[in-house]
């Protein structure tokens, strides 16, 4: 019996989750075996989910946590045997701050996705003027928006809560989390639950006060919805990879193009950088959208154009570690930077406060985030220059002037997807384009959720979608791996 061959392109957490799901499936109804080839251009698995272990420190190169909107990721971690590694963010240092006009203001409690769910913390906040607080409280009187069309996050927050909440709270908080300008970020693509709440309840403040809004998963009993792994988030891709007993994994091999296999129904040739070709029945592409555009350009120029239009921003992470007793970090989890500040930072996290296990007792670990604009030149600066820049800013903002014992710089050019206005329409056009190519699926941070849990979910769903297409009479001929001459 000929197997169903599937190529998974990209071995970040999305691709690993897809391969894991395919391997768990094992075979299709009727006993048709599934054979998976996982192809990764880089030299490591896990994409941006990487952890450095240095002198007792756990330094995350990319994301440092999973945000649990649902129990999906938590269940997957448990299924992978990582339950004893799950750590929730330290409640003692949950408070974050906003840097505005050179001062740090505590982020008002009771915020959800950058908008307030409670009135009294907002009234006590020093970041809003009396007029701004009054305007925010008037949200309970406002009608719901009549139009069902998309709008920018900034437009939504400004319309419901006023200019000060939009500029002083939502812009720094959500702009940092979602890697973009809230005036350009799509509400429907980034925070669709906010527009859904408005349509259903009219006033978000009133609905929250009446207990009609859902509690963030993982947050019951006051527990933080942010979790990480005690041994570092790199344990997640390692655990997924360890489950791949029958999957062929090709590391350091770049996919050049995906093309139709002539005379072979809906099969595909996957052409590789080593000169070989895989002839497969299904293809799951999990690389960033701009890379997927190049890979699929031979199949469809229209599909490639839509993929190229998905916006990505760059980020630089600068990690600084300080020896025992040499510094005292401010209380809280760190701060985000309001737009318009004369700062190269977008955020700074007190990692050893949020996650005490990341540094030996008494030591301090800080992670600073910079989002370099085009033309800023930050990506081209040396590690030493970037460390000096961050040190100077921390000295100005929080008085932290001690030289670090360890410094690390991680650059991620075009590393973060930002769902700008029109993103949902682009996705619709991409889905319509994919309809002409049965057995081809796209998944990853560029599409329907950029966080680790969303990427895991998309990988699993992509695997299910391509397997559900079995039974197509086009897939009855012999499949084989061929090498180009």
Question: 265 near 472, Cβ under 8 Å?
Answer: yes
Question: 10 near 281, Cβ under 8 Å?
Answer: no
Question: 173 near 114, Cβ under 8 Å?
Answer: yes
For residue 442, is it within any domain?
Answer: yes
| Residue 368 vs residues 61, 164, 315, 333, 344: alpha-carbon distances, Å | 11, 26, 10, 12, 10
Question: 203 near 142, Cβ under 8 Å?
Answer: yes
- Domain of residue 342 covers 51-66+86-92+312-418
- 330 token code pair: 């401010």
- pLDDT at residue number 261: 82
23: Cα within 13 Å, side-chain hemisphere: 20
Average pLDDT, 10 consecutive residues per value, the chain (485 residues): 92 98 86 94 96 97 89 91 95 90 86 74 85 93 91 96 94 86 94 92 90 62 81 98 96 96 78 94 97 97 97 96 93 92 93 96 96 84 97 94 97 95 96 93 95 96 86 33 29
Cα distance between residue 247 and residue 77, in whole Å = 20
For residue 100, is it within any domain?
Answer: no
Q: How many residues does the chain have?
A: 485
Q: Given 369, 385, 418, which residue is the final one in a domain?
A: 418
For residue 406, is it within any domain?
Answer: yes
Cα distance between residue 257 and residue 304, in whole Å = 12
- pLDDT at residue number 473: 35
- pLDDT at residue number 216: 55
Q: Do 134 and 170 reside in the same domain of the chain?
A: yes
Q: Do 29 and 167 reside in the same domain of the chain?
A: no
- pLDDT at residue number 480: 31
Residue 221 gets the label, from left (phi > 0), alpha (psi -120 to 50) or beta, of: left
Q: Do 361 and 383 reside in the same domain of the chain?
A: yes
Can you give the CATH number for the domain in which 59 is found?
Answer: 3.90.660.20
Q: Do 294 and 389 reside in the same domain of the chain?
A: no
């Amino acid at each position: 019996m000929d197997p169903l061959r599937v190529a998974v392109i990209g071995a970040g957490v999305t691709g690993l989750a897809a391969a894991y799901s395919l391997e768990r499936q094992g075979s299709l109804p009727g006993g048709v075996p599934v054979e998976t080839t996982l192809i990764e251009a880089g030299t490591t698995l896990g994409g941006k989910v990487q952890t450095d272990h240095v002198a007792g420190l756990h330094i995350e190169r990319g994301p440092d946590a999973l945000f649990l909107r649902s129990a999906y990721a938590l269940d997957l971690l448990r299924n992978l045997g990582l339950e004893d590694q799950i750590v929730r963010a330290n409640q003692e240092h949950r408070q974050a701050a906003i840097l505005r006009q050179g001062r740090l203001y505590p982020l008002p409690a009771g915020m959800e996705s950058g908008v307030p769910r409670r009135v009294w913390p907002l009234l006590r906040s020093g970041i809003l003027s009396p007029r701004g607080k009054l305007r925010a409280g008037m949200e309970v009187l406002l009608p719901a928006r009549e139009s069902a069309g998309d709008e920018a996050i900034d437009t939504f927050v400004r319309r419901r809560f006023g200019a000060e909440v939009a500029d002083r709270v939502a812009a720094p908080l959500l702009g940092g989390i979602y890697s973009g300008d809230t005036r350009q970020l799509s509400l429907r693509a980034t925070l669709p639950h906010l527009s859904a709440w408005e349509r259903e309840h009219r006033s978000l403040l009133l609905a929250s006060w009446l207990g009609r809004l859902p509690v963030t998963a993982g947050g019951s009993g006051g527990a933080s919805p942010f979790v990480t792994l005690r041994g570092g988030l790199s344990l997640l891709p390692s655990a997924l990879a360890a489950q791949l007993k029958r999957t062929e994994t090709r590391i350091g091999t770049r996919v050049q193009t995906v093309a139709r296999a002539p005379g072979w129904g809906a099969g595909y040739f996957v052409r590789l950088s080593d000169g070989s070709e895989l002839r497969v029945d299904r293809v799951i592409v999990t690389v960033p959208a701009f890379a997927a555009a190049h890979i699929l350009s031979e199949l469809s120029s229209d599909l490639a154009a839509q993929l190229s239009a998905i916006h990505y921003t760059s980020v630089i992470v600068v990690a600084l570690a300080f020896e025992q007793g040499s510094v005292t970090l401010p209380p809280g989890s760190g701060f985000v930077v309001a737009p318009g500040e004369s700062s190269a930072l977008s955020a700074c996290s007190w990692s050893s406060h949020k996650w005490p296990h990341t540094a030996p007792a008494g030591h301090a670990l800080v992670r600073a985030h910079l989002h370099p604009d085009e033309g800023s030149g930050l990506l081209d600066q040396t590690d030493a220059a970037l460390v000096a820049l961050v040190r100077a800013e921390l000295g100005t903002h929080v008085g932290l002037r001690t030289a670090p014992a360890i410094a690390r710089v991680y650059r991620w050019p075009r590393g973060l997807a930002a769902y700008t206005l029109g993103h949902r329409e682009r996705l619709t056009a991409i889905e319509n384009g994919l309809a002409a190519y049965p057995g081809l699926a796209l998944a990853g941070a560029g599409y329907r959720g950029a966080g680790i849990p969303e990427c895991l979910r998309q990988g699993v769903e992509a695997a299910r979608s391509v397997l559900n297409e079995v039974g197509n009479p086009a897939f009855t001929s012999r499949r084989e791996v061929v090498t180009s001459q």
